[in-house]
Amino acid sequence: MTLTGFLAAIGRPVLAALAGVGRVSLFAGSVLSHLVRPPFYAREFGHALMQIGWFSIPVVGLTALFTGGALALQIYSGGARFNAESVVPSIVAIGMARELGPVLGGLMVAARVASSIAAEIGTMKVTEQIDALVTLSTNPIKYLAVPRVLAATLAVPVLVAVGDSIGIMGGWLVGITRLDFNSAAYLKTTVDFLETWDVLSGMVKGAAFGFIVALMGCYFGMTSGRGAQGVGAATKSAVVAASVIILAANYVLTEVFFTS
Amino acid sequence: MIELRSVQKTFGSNRVLRGIDLTLPKGQSMVVIGGSGTGKSVLLKCILGLVRPDAGTITLDGQDVAKAERDAFLARFGMLFQGGALFDSLKVWENVAFRLMRGASALPKDQARAIALEKLRRVGLTPAVADQFPAELSGGMQKRVGLARAIAAEPEIIFFDEPTTGLDPIMSGVINDLIREIVVEMGATAMTITHDMSSVRAIADRVAMLHAGVIQWTGPVTEMDTASDPYLQQFIHGRAEGPIASVR
Ligand SMILES: Nc1ncnc2c1ncn2[C@@H]1O[C@H](COP(=O)(O)OP(=O)(O)OP(=O)(O)O)[C@@H](O)[C@H]1O
Ligand SMILES: [Mg+2]
């Protein structure tokens, strides 16, 4: 392979990736600019809020419950190595609120919501419904993307808070049934050690993750290729992109929030 | 009046439109015919700005459509898509009334619904379907709902992409009459794509035949049968033998 051929082989995917980042950024900018200009589609927003927020509670709750329980077991057995079993309640609470609640909640929402948004909008694209919207003088970004992105950005922090509570409850359940903690003492330690910022930072992360999830779903849906295959590829890309960006964003936000 | 001048569109290596010149006079009904896959639907989408032509100009009343103010421009149009393109999250009547309930001159809900029911009746659908969802309807019924949606706001210019495909002969007749009525009574300008030669004769003032990316023949419908163009004659008589290859 010649040197130029080699450089071209590296350059092409890099350029493609940069172009992709550029297109997503432009799309995000367009969504944000439409967010602040009327009309606002309240009915679509309400519908999205139900779909993204309310109906995600079971899956986020179950994830948090089992994670909180497993976390309590792990911290107990890990803590036992240096006689620190008593840290279980506080570490479960801090771990859930700062890290696991938002990240696992975000990932579950990515699986559930980014996929359904991408599939729905992608199908609308391949069946010409997006074209039909345009001919009916309705901006697809305003009508389809803005309500979903706004709903996800507002709903996911609440989901995170619900998940935090259920996760802490999972830890408590395991603590009192399996680890011989006193129920009242467990709860008291949890409350004493948990700071407002622990919970708040997790909710801010949740808002960012919600934005990412809906944005990816809408972007890949609207740029879906033709046919069922196009929609399938769009759905897959939306979930993968949302998940990876959530994890990357989580690292960045953690740096920003917790290193001084 | 809509004018297209050397409009070209290529998808990858597929040169679909290779220089379309076509004039659609105001208040007339133009029917576009041509083989499957020759780019008839793409042509309509180019005029609406849903597909951006690679070259050429399209003007509406002398104004370049690419530079027109989009909302005002689109408000003058109605479009029936080939596949119906109904919004499947909305009920049938909400689909039909979609434009009526939006924009600056939005109507109240019950008024919009009344108009939607009236338009549904005109395309031969009973009020019973109004509260169903598009997925619950047959293909031909969906097509007719799409038609009702296209004419709901009484636009000046209406595009119909295969309005009678998938309909029974009686319903085709009803739809042909309706399109004719819209042009004659409401003075609308219509552009219809169809493969159904009886529709062509029922609807058209003028006919344009698309072949190999250009307008192969265009003229008044009355001259269609006597025109000497061999492509046109093969097409309207549906002969397998002739200048148009049967494998494309
Ligand atoms: N978005 C697109 N991307 C790539 N190719 C396209 C696209 N839209 C249309 N084409 C191609 O353009 C050609 C013309 O398509 P078009 O839908 O206009 O045909 P048509 O004349 O309407 O045919 P039919 O009578 O079967 O509806 C086809 O070869 C099609 O594959
Ligand atoms: Mg077509």
Enclosing domain of residue B147:
85-151
pLDDT digits (tens, 9 = 90+) for A139-148: 999 999 999 9
The Cα B232–Cα B227 span in angstroms is 8
pLDDT, tens digit (0-9, with 9 covering 90-100), for B117-165: 999 999 999 999 999 999 999 988 999 999 999 999 999 999 999 999 8
Q: Which domain holds residue A211?
A: 41-258
| Claim to verify: residue B51 and residue B169 sit in the same structural domain | yes
- Do B72 and B181 lie in one domain? The reply is yes
Give the C-alpha distances (Å, rounded to integers) separating A75 from A78, A82, A103, A161, A176: 5, 11, 19, 22, 14
Mutate to test the pocket of ligand 1, among B11, B80, B235, B248 (most ligand atoms within 8 A of CB): B11
pLDDT digit string, tens, across residues B39-78:
999 999 999 999 999 999 999 998 998 888 888 899 999 9
**What pLDDT is recorded for position B71?**
85
Q: Helix, strand, coil proportions of chain A in percent (round to 5)?
A: 90, 0, 10
| CATH number of B213's domain | 3.40.50.300
Least confident of A64-78, A95-109, B227-241: B227-241
The reported pLDDT for the residue numbered A28 is 94
Contact B50 A134 (CB under 8 A): yes
Q: How many CA atoms lie within 13 A of A148 on its CB side?
A: 27
Helices B139-152 + B109-122 axis angle, to 10: 120
Residue A147 makes CB contacts below 8 A (sequence gap 6+) with A41, A44, A45, A47, A48
Interface predicted TM-score (ipTM): 0.91
A206 in any annotated domain: yes
Contact A134 B99 (CB under 8 A): no
Q: In what order do the strands lie in the sheet with B14-24?
A: B14-24, B2-11, B55-60, B63-64
| Minimum CA–CA partner of B100 in chain A | A136
Query: What is the tally of structural domains in chain A?
Result: 1
For the segment A216-232, the average pLDDT, to the nearest whole number, is 95
Q: What is the pLDDT of residue B48?
A: 94
Kindly state the percentage of chain B with pLDDT values over 90: 79
Question: What does the DSSP 8-state code read for residue B136?
Answer: G
Number of domains in chain B: 2
Residue B16 backbone phi and psi in degrees, to 5: -80, -60
Question: How crowded is residue A58: how many other Cβ atoms within 10 Å of its Cβ?
Answer: 10
Ligand 2 centroid – CA B37 distance (Å): 7
Q: Are residues B203 and B161 in the same domain?
A: yes
| pLDDT at B248 > cutoff 70 | no
Residue that terminates a domain, selected from B114, B134, B151: B151
In this prediction, residue B51 carries a pLDDT of 94
Same domain as B165, residue B51 = yes
Q: Which of A124, A128, A135 sits opposite B74 (nearest CB)?
A: A135
pTM for the full model?
0.91
Residue from A157, A235, A245, A236 nearest A201 by CA: A157
Residues B160 and B241 in one domain: yes
Q: Mark which of B111, B135, B151 sits at the end of a domain.
A: B151
Q: Is B103's pLDDT higher than 90? A: no
Contacts of B219 (CB under 8 A, 6+ apart): B206, B207, B227
